[in-house]
Structure 1
């Protein structure tokens, strides 16, 4: 990451420096080239103007002397006594290349080694010039009436021009260098903030990739980077929300799969238990039927067999009813008819109905119910109470007791407790008693005709009405079932 940061900063600053360098160099080239071009044009104008002055001077002298032909004597003598002819060092040559007259401001020798060639060139009517050591040697024909009368040589110093150009060049280079340094410094300041925001957005992208959505932060800018940062925030929130929804969906599917596996296992166990439970009474009925058929004269055997067959048929009928009810509760979420129910009235009715069975088993039944009215399904409530009381009878001791309470606690919950002084249960079997066909005491269940479906049905009926059921039991001390409903 640090390499990337150095890289992007270096690229941006290098680009800025290169761009500034190109612009400054280009402007410097154009301006300096323009100055040089102007100096050359100005020099040419001065030289040609001086040439024109000499031609006018010769024309005037010819007119004053009234000569029709040019004579070399016109270029001799006091020609350079005129101040306006001595502004630039000059020499006059005749058309044979011979020096006629001259003027110099210093004793500097003529350094033009191509002087003769250039004079010959001027004799032919053409202008030429050459720069040597800050001096321009200019050769031009002086014409009179269209013919070359003499040759003019000018030695024009451009030293001051070069010094001026050199000063301007240094000034441009100095200003250009300062502009470049200042531009780079300003670029560093600007791009530091720009790259910092870019790195922050890059960190945000990496955080999104890692799923660390809380580390995604917005960049406060009023440009495209700010819009991009807002887009990253929106994308991060959307991805996080989608992931949360997918996790919820995954958990839901996972629970659904676990539930299906559990239901499949329960279904297999249920079918196996149903087969086993049905097989036992059917086998008993078949055995008694065969014995009765074999001993038709034994009335006592026939009477015992008939009672046993009737008892097993009742047991089968009860099992079928419980299995159908339990299957309906497992598979269908049918409508429960809820009405206002008076607990005291319902409990009185059920206890009176169960009293005969209580007395038959030499037990004592006591109950205490508050006058509470609540909206529940009355048939389901009766089924719950009957099953719990029936279990308290089946698994009690001779001379034992059953105590039933119905009241509203301080949390405004309806509590129904059924307590017995029976055989109780071991702690490890308590979590299993609400499973279909599970029986804590199988021998006792056989004797009482139980198939292990009653408590499973009770639990389902309680939960269908939004209630909960709990059990507390100690071996050889008794059991308490506690049902809780919301008001």
Structure 2
């Protein structure tokens, strides 16, 4: 089986190294980017298509040329073999030397090609055109002498060499010269056609693409300007484009986004105001806390000083019975005050920092109120206060211990901050699904701007009055926190010089009204 080898007489002696160039693109708008990208894609497509077609044409031309020259070589081989078989007893060398010149001329005329014959040692023995230009075929001839086919393309001609096989082996080599000028001309015509057609398509598509993209970029520009206005705080009220494609949906999305941004900014501004108010309140609480620390330090120091003084007196005059009795009473009183002060501080700290567990259960509120009233009645009588109660049966769900603490704190304050021969009332009412406990007294009225302040930790209306009445400013804040933990609400609902009802149901005396609201569990009606 013969092997085909292509030898090229012309080699490229130049080589180019790719250089990377950096193109800095700045300020190129989409109006030009899109057409340029489209043109580049078309150029690439036309280039690849042209390369594929021209490569196919070249491969087809080469295949036809090889098959044509192979057929001619087979005809020459058949003619030479026929002549060799007709010659009697001649060696291949003698046959080629004697018959090759005539055979070369005969075959050249019949094939319309230049035919050169070589013997088995590579010596030229026949040439149909001995005066024509000779091509250097040394390397190709050596391939042919090995039983292989080789050809050389040089300009517009092809030199084809093929072995001539005889009955007993290689007779020689035939060299055929063929012109491929027509094929090359056809190839060049097709290449020019692709060049002109591709150029025309490229220019036309660029113009059409520029016109189409200009409309798109105009709408994109409107959206861009709208986004810049949104960033500047100016929000569109209506859609800018009347389109149903992606740009139209983008326009609609920008409109919705502007509404969301506007609402978010408004919410942030409101939140900023709330945070500023919270910071202001925190600063106020911080100041109140500092004030409370100063107050409680003084409150702790006062009983401790008294206890220390009596301890020193007992060391010096321990045999005085009257002094011992007075010291015992005073130390007990101051110790009780210290205990209450520390106890309230600890309770408030627990409420502020820990989520302690409430022991809730069903509570007969009117019974709890009657128990609290009986506990405070003696203290009220000692000050000459008129204490009255008006309760109705009602059940709530709460912690009885903490409920009792709230009510006793309110009643204790009603006794402390009251006038001599004054009055106190304890009552409850039911409104829909809520039980309201009222504690009223004839104490000095509280200015409206201080109604909320008295429920804040570390705040007292008067340091002197607080110290005089053993108050720390923690009782009401602690009571409100406990009420809120049980789902209730504690407020000062009235404080006036003339507007409250006294214990006998008549108005005209100054006083205060505290209300404790709790969720109703069961209302049994009046008894």
TM-score by length of 1: 0.54
C-alpha spacing 1:229/1:287, structure 2 compared with 1 (3 Å): same
Structure 1, unaligned runs of 5 or more: 1-7, 16-186
Shift of 1:262: 4.4
Residue number in structure 2 paired with 1:479: 512
Partner Cα separation in structure 2 for residue 473 and residue 249 of structure 1: 34
Residues 207 and 216 of structure 1 are in contact (CA less than 8 Å); yes or no, is this contact kept in structure 2?
no
- Checking the alignment, whether the CA contact within 8 Å between 1:427 and 1:474 is kept in structure 2 is no
1:217 aligns with 2:250: no
2:406 paired with 1:384: yes
CA positional deviation for 1:389: 0.4
Residue of structure 2 aligned with 1:268, choices 278, 290, 308: 290
Q: How far apart are 1:420 and its partner, in Å?
A: 0.9
Q: How many residues get paired?
A: 305
Q: Could you say which structure has the larger radius of gyration?
A: 1
Tell me the equivalent position of 2:469. 448
Q: Tell me the equivalent position of 1:232.
A: 254
Q: Deviations over 1:227-260 (max 9, x none)?
A: 5425534654675576577667756765665565
More helix by share: 1
Match of 1:315 among 337, 340, 344: 337
Tell whether 2:479 aligns with 1:463: no
- 1:417 and 2:474 correspond: no
Indicate the residue corresponding to 1:351 in structure 2.
373
In structure 2, do the counterparts of structure 1 residues 398 and 247 end up closer, same or farther at CA, with 3 Å as the change threshold? closer
Aligned to 1:184: none
CA–CA distance in structure 2, aligned partners of residues 437 and 251 of structure 1: 26
In 2, are the aligned partners of 1:204 and 1:217 still within 8 Å (CA)? no
1:398 aligns with 2:420: yes
1:68-217 correspondence runs (5 A): 197-198=219-220, 200-213=222-235, 215=237, 217=239
**Structure 1 residues 277 and 341 mapped into 2: Cα distance closer, same or farther (>3 Å)?**
same
Q: Is the 8 A contact 1:213 1:236 kept in 2?
A: yes
1:433 aligned counterpart, secondary structure: helix
Using the TM superposition, give the Cα deviation of residue 217 of structure 1 relative to its aligned residue in structure 2, in angstroms: 2.3
TM-score scaled by length of structure 2: 0.50
With over 3 angstroms needed to count, the CA separation of the structure-2 counterparts of 1:421 and 1:293, relative to structure 1, is same
Measure, in 2, the Cα distance between the counterparts of 1:292 and 1:226.
96
In 2, Cα distance between equivalents of 1:218 and 1:394 = 72
- 1:179-204 deviation line (CA, Å, top 9, x unaligned): xxxxxxxx99x999878855652453
CA change 1:225–1:454 in 2 (3 A) is: closer
- How far, CA to CA, are the matches of 2:261 and 2:495 in structure 1? 51
Secondary structure in structure 2 of the residue aligned to 1:396 = coil
Once residues 438 and 243 of structure 1 are traced to their aligned partners in structure 2, the CA distance between those partners, rounded to angstroms, is: 37
For structure 2, the residue ranges without an aligned partner over 5 or more in a row are 1-28, 36-209, 498-508, 521-527
Deviation at 1:325, TM superposition (A): 0.6
Matched with 1:366 is 388
Change (3 A) 1:438 1:223: closer
Change (3 A) 1:336 1:248: farther
- Does the aligned pair in 1 maintain the 2:455–2:480 contact within 8 Å? yes
Q: 1:286 to 1:379 in 2, by over 3 A?
A: same
Does 2:397 match 1:375? yes
Quote how far apart the aligned CAs of 1:337 are. Answer: 3.3
Query: Partners of 1:272 and 1:225 in 2: how far apart?
Result: 68
1:467 CA drift (Å): 3.1
